[in-house]
Every structure is written in C-alpha cells, then in structure tokens.
Amino acid sequence: MPFLLSLLSCCLQVAAQNNIATEQKINSLIKKMTLQEKLGMIHANSSFTSNGVARLNIPELVMSDGPHGVRPEHGRDWEKDENVNDSGTYLPTGNTLAATWNPALGYQYGAVLGSEAKWRGKDVILGPGINIIRTPLNGRNFEYLSEDPYLISKMVVGYIQGVQAQGISACVKHFAANNQEILRNSINVEMSERALREIYLPGFKAAVLTGKVNTLMGAYNKFRGQWCTHNKYLINDILKKEWKFDGIVISDWGAVHNTKEALENGTDIEMGSEFTLKSGTDYSKFFLADSAVASVKMDKVKLDKLLDDKVRRILRIMYRTKLAASKKSTGSYATKEHSAVAAKVAEEGIVLLKNNDHFFPIQKKNIKTIAVIGENAARPNAYGGGSSQVKALYEVTPLQGIKNILKGTDVTVSYARGYKIERNAAANDTLIAEAVKAAANADVVIVAGGWVHGYNYNVWNDNAYDAEGFDKPNMDMPFGQNELINAVLKVNPNVAVVLMGGGAIDVSGWDKKVKTIIEAWYPGMEGGNALAKIIFGEINPSGKLPVTFPKHLSESPAHVLGEYPGDSVNVKYSDDIFVGYRYFDTYKVQPQFAFGHGLSYTSFEYKNLQVNYANKATTVTLIIKNTGGTAGAEVVQVYVNEKSPEIKRPEKELKAFAKVMLKAGEEKQIKLTLDENAFQYFSEAKNKWVMKPGRFNILVGSSSADIRLEKGVDVK
C-alpha cells in the first residue's frame, strides 16, 4: 500500500509538472501572437473550423457532428468534397444507447466515434447531446439520453472518455435547458434553482468533473433572460468557476448575439455558417471577429485578458489532443469492429415493452409465413434528423434483418408498405388493403411503425417528426398507423408492433389488442439484424426505458404542470423537479410504460436485500437470480425515497443501477454503494445541496414501477 501511494503521488507530481510546462509553453505562444491572430482563433473561418496560426505552427481546430457518427463531409462551407471517403459507422442514436443502461457500452460507443473522427482528420466531435427529455414532443429527443439526471450522468462519462481516449475532444451539448426545438432561437427558459440543480445540470456536471470533457457547446435558447452561449450565470459562475472547467466553450452555430457578452461571459469560440448567420459566409462579420470586437468599448488590459483566456483554453485542449506527443494514432474508419459495437448497442438497447402469451421469441420452425408491414420496416434513417445525419456504410432495416435471419429456412417473408410517410398523411385505404391481405395469409405479423426522421438535412421538415429544428405536432401515431394496426388485427391476432423513433408515442388505440410491443428507437446500421435476433430469440432483450411513456400527451408533466412550448417569448418550467417518473410516481399517475421498464425472455428473482450505513456510505447488497430457462441480463435499479422530507421531494429517485448477466439458473450477489449525494436535495433557502439526517427507504426493482425489495435505513 505505501508503495502504491508513493507511486500515485509521484504520478500526480509528474502530471502537475507537465501541466505547468504546457501552460508555460502556451503563455509564451500567446505572447508572440498579434491581436488579429488571437481573434482568428475565436471565431469560425468555415462552417466547421476556426483559424490556427500557421507561422507559430498552431493548426486549425476542426469540428464535426455529431452524436452518433461522423457527419458526411461538406468540405468548407458545404462545398461537397468528392474526394473523401465519408460513408462511416452509423451508431444507434443517443436514446438507444441510454436504453442499454450499460456505461461500459457508452465507452465503446465513444471510442468508435473518436477513432472515426480521428481518421477523418477532425479534432472535436460535436456530441454527446444530453439535454433532459422533458416533453415527448421535442424533435431532438432521439439524440438525447434520458429524463433522469443520474442515468445521464452515468452514460455520458463513458461516452466522453471513449472519445477522448482516441486523442479527440468530445463536445457535450447543449448547455443548458435546450429541451424543445420549437422556438429554440428565441425562447427564454425560466425554472427554479432547484430544478436547475437537481434535474437540468447534473449530466453536464458529471461530463465536466468526472468525464473531464474537453469542450462544451452553449445552447441556442435564453436562460433567465440571457442567451445561454454567453450566459454569465451558467458559463462564468457555474461552469468555469464552480466546476473549474478549463476547456473550450463553443457556441451553438449562430447562437452568439452580442460581442461584449460573448467576450465577458465565457464564449471561447463563435461558430456558425451561412444557414445560421445573417452575415452569410463573411466570417469577418462575426461577433467575435475583428471589427465587432474593435467596436466594443472596453479597457485594453481587460480585453487582452479576456482574449488570452479564450486562446489559452483552445491551445490547452490542442496540447491535450492533436498536439500531444502521445496522441498520434490515425484512428480507423468503418471497420467490422465498429459495426460490431453498433450491433451490440442495438442488441442491448432495444426494449421489449409488452409480450403476451410468450409470443416472442418466435420459433422459426413453428411458422411458414411472416408478414412485415410498414414503411418504417424498409426505410433507412441514418441520413435524417438534422445535424446528426450520418452517411452510413450500410444500414440494415428491420425488413432486411428479418430476411437475413430467415435465410436458408423455408419461411416466406411478405412485405406491405401499409402507410405513406408524408407529413399530415391520413390512412391510405389502398395500402391498408394490401397490408390486410398480407396479414391474412401470414402466421405472424410484424408491423414496424412509429416516428420518422426527415431524409435531407436541407429540408429538415420534409416529412420529419424526429428532427432538429422541429417538434412533433402531437404524440399520436402518424400516417394512419392506428387504422392500419386495427385493420390488420381484424384478420390476424398474432400481431407484434415495433416502434421506431425518439420515444413515447400514444399506443392507446391498439396496445391491449396486440401481443407484443417493441421499442427499437433508431437502432443504427446493424439495427435490423439486432431486432431480428430479438424477435427470433438469438438475443434475449435487456434494454430498459430511459424515459417514461405516458398514456397520452395530456398526462405528460411538462404539459400538465408546466408550460410547453411557452408563450413564444418565455417558457416556464413550473413542472419544476417533477420531470418524467418523478411526476408519475409522486402524483400517482399511471403511465403507459414506466421509466426503467423492459421485459426479458427469462425471469429474475430479487432476494436477501441488506442495507447498511457506515462512515457516510450506504451499502446495498442483494441476490439476483435468473429463474427462467434462458440466459439474460437484468438491470437492477436502486431508488431512494425520503420518509418525511422537509420539503416536497419526488416519491423516488434513481441513485444506483447495475446491469447483471446471468445464465439460466445462475444467481449473483450485487453490491452497490450510495454516497451522501444519493440522499441530498438542493435547498433554495440555503442555496446548496443538503441532507436531512433520518430515515430513507431503499427501493430495489426491475423498473420504477416494479419495486421488488424495500428496506429502511437511518442516514446521519
């Protein structure tokens, strides 16, 4: 032990000395730079780059979207670069990753992105997107992770560390409270300090303090009256002072509105392009470019100090990444190994929501015909959704996945389109009639439906439901899918519905009548294969919902307690801390599918719960046993409830979880530790996190609504 301690202290000393040496190098570089050179580094010089200083060997900083793959190359300012190989790995979207509840997969996911970004000559990958999923309507929910700050905090760290281990910077976005796309460029978000601290910030805090993220993107919206990208409270006071973030704050594209505020309130690089800025592509007209900065009345010493801080941050991150001697790998691109990560995330992220009569898994030998219905079954999604678009090397659709798995068997697969993807399209009688015919002649029917992306980034609203810049008009199944499913059910009771998309959708028109419901999100390039393996039992599903599915939109807390989308100037989050299951559980509203819910083909027994408090740590141990006949993984979830709180607290809050793989009949002991944070709430009166010593309940279960074991503990 003494040897290990002295080794550790020696390593820390070396690291500190290296840091001092790097900071000295940076200071001497800054001394050599002209004002123009500094200004060049703090604003865009093309849609995805900012200037370097060639004479000092400082390279440009090269960025790329996005959260689930490296974006297709648009060269400089959207000129298509024909000479580049940009068909890459299309990973499942953020919501799918979150549904794995497997932080180790977060790391692998990030490592794929980092490696591909490196291969494509990028320095910064513009992800992960981690805004809280507050309303089912947000058009970007598919990019985001969860309604729960603890789950986000756990998943985001792996992602960031995976990216950054490749010598590439992650960019956590969009800081903060960018929870709707509608009005995103103008809306002012108002919320309590408690909601900010308990719900909207913890993911970012974990990204900075634990994930050590190199860069962060400011959001488009305003927060408490000031634009987020140059919001004094969010960026200077919280991010840079409280959390000691020493990396780069990058504006969202076109999110800077004021030179003085951007200079003073922590924006380090102003980005944007002809789409987002009125200046067109004249980068010299940017808010952080020469003439705008020159026109600000500010003491020269102060201005120099502000500029030097921004440049210092950029150089610091360059020395941690592209200028670091140890980070010279070239990365790799579109490899089999990367596809395998995409497959694994889909296999663990797809969620079995309902499964009556053991309808799934389907035994190939028991069927002769299968009808696959729905335009979503045959539609690729990689290229849609806005800035997160990916040019996929390939994308296995659900239909293709089902055909692949049935190759070599004598099962016949028929396909009917069923509905037409077109914004505001109603049920199409001809397509429904074709689908009914296919269903009538089949042993089993799989309808693939739900939401869709727009195809083309230039027309994001083109048929888009899940897309940047737009929210969904409602939570209903679009394109007449309810009519389709009900028509199919009339001729064949053996129907499963596969949902795709950004999350909660109203299934109340048919949910009781179908045998099985699966949430497949946007499961990436291998998604169809992963789905087929789950349908036919080669993979035992283990995904769990990272969001609550309300029965109807009108029961969603942002719409019941809060405002959405606001009065076009302000949106008040009066739903406060009661986001997602915190609302449904506390207000006793039954959701359609609860947070943390997800079925398996096997069953799990929870037993022998013990909870011990000692030395400020609460240890939770239990035994989990696979009591069914198939190997499978269970996500053991630990929630905390305060017996008699001083102020209103949620009925329960997730504070620990573990994904456990168990063979048939196997049992394992699980041990989870809760620190003091698990019992705290944010006191507005004291303006800090506090814990009231006393009795807490520890609730352990398979979802927020399926608590299997419970025990009290006195925490001091």
Tell me, yes or no, if 410 is annotated catalytic: no
Residue nearest to ligand BGC (CB): 387
Residues 295-354 that bind ligand BGC (CB under 6 A): none
421 Cβ contact partners less than 8 Å away, ≥ 6 residues apart: 375, 376, 379, 452, 463, 479
**Would you give the binding string for ligand BGC spanning residues 469-508, x where CB under 6 A is met?**
----------------------------------------
Out of 65, 86, 252, 585, the active site residue is 252
**Would you give the binding string for ligand BGC spanning residues 235-274, x where CB under 6 A is met?**
-----------------xx---------------------
Q: Which amino acid is at 281?
A: T
Q: Say how far apart CA 34 and CA 32 lie, in whole Å.
A: 7
Which residues pair with residue 517 across a beta bridge? 354, 497
Nearer to ligand BGC, 136 or 386 (CB): 386
The tokens of 63 are what? 């960025």
Are 148 and 162 a contacting pair, CB within 8 Å?
Answer: no
Least distance from ligand BGC to the Cβ atom of residue 449, Å: 27
- Is 68 a binding residue for ligand BGC by CB under 6 A? The answer is no
Nearer to ligand BGC, 68 or 354 (CB): 68
On the question of a cis peptide bond just before residue 176, with omega within 30 degrees of 0, the verdict is: yes
Least distance from ligand BGC to the Cβ atom of residue 122, Å: 12
Nearer to ligand BGC, 64 or 339 (CB): 64
Least distance from ligand BGC to the Cβ atom of residue 205, Å: 20
Nearer to ligand BGC, 116 or 526 (CB): 116
Least distance from ligand BGC to the Cβ atom of residue 126, Å: 4
Are 268 and 251 a contacting pair, CB within 8 Å?
Answer: no
**Would you give the binding string for ligand BGC spanning residues 385-424, x where CB under 6 A is met?**
--x-------------------------------------
Are 609 and 646 a contacting pair, CB within 8 Å?
Answer: no
Q: What does the angle CA 171 – CA 172 – CA 178 come to, to the nearest 5 degrees? A: 130
- Three-state SS at 625: strand
Q: Say how far apart CA 617 and CA 265 lie, in whole Å.
A: 38
Least distance from ligand BGC to the Cβ atom of residue 162, Å: 19
Nearer to ligand BGC, 467 or 499 (CB): 467
Least distance from ligand BGC to the Cβ atom of residue 97, Å: 17
- Helix ranges (H only) for 407-526 are 429-440, 481-491
Q: Say how far apart CA 609 and CA 709 lie, in whole Å.
A: 7
**Widest CA span of the chain, in angstroms?**
80
Least distance from ligand BGC to the Cβ atom of residue 127, Å: 8
Sort 295 into a burial class: Cβ within 10 Å, 0-12 / 13-18 / 19+.
exposed
Give me the phi and psi of 442, to 5 degrees please: -115, 155
From start to end of 506-597, where are the E strands? 516-519, 570-572
Nearer to ligand BGC, 47 or 540 (CB): 47
The tokens of 523 are what? 């499961």
Are 252 and 217 a contacting pair, CB within 8 Å?
Answer: yes
Least distance from ligand BGC to the Cβ atom of residue 58, Å: 23
Least distance from ligand BGC to the Cβ atom of residue 513, Å: 39
Nearer to ligand BGC, 173 or 472 (CB): 173
Nearer to ligand BGC, 219 or 495 (CB): 219
395 Cβ contact partners less than 8 Å away, ≥ 6 residues apart: 90, 380, 381, 382, 524, 525, 527, 528
Least distance from ligand BGC to the Cβ atom of residue 187, Å: 14
Residues 557-576 that bind ligand BGC (CB under 6 A): none
Q: Say how far apart CA 206 and CA 542 lie, in whole Å.
A: 25
Residues 432-451 that bind ligand BGC (CB under 6 A): none
243 Cβ contact partners less than 8 Å away, ≥ 6 residues apart: 205, 208, 209
- Is 173 a binding residue for ligand BGC by CB under 6 A? The answer is yes
Least distance from ligand BGC to the Cβ atom of residue 255, Å: 8
- Is 29 a binding residue for ligand BGC by CB under 6 A? The answer is no
Q: Say how far apart CA 495 and CA 516 lie, in whole Å.
A: 7
Residues 684-703 that bind ligand BGC (CB under 6 A): none
| Member of 98, 99, 105, 126 binding ligand BGC (CB under 6 A) | 126
Number of residues that bind ligand BGC (CB under 6 A): 7
The tokens of 419 are what? 């509905």
Are 122 and 64 a contacting pair, CB within 8 Å?
Answer: yes
Question: Exposure pattern of 559-592 as b/e (b: 16+ CB <10 Å)?
Answer: bbebbbbbeeeebbbbbbbbbbbbbbbbeeeebb
Question: Exposure pattern of 194-212 as b/e (b: 16+ CB <10 Å)?
Answer: ebbbbbbbbbbbbbbeebb
Nearer to ligand BGC, 387 or 618 (CB): 387
Nearer to ligand BGC, 411 or 467 (CB): 467
Question: Exposure pattern of 658-689 as b/e (b: 16+ CB <10 Å)?
Answer: bbbebeeeebbebebebeeebbbbbbeeeeee
- Is 65 a binding residue for ligand BGC by CB under 6 A? The answer is yes
Nearer to ligand BGC, 89 or 131 (CB): 131
| Catalytic positions, written as ranges | 252
Binding site for ligand BGC (CB under 6 A): 65-66, 126, 173, 252-253, 387
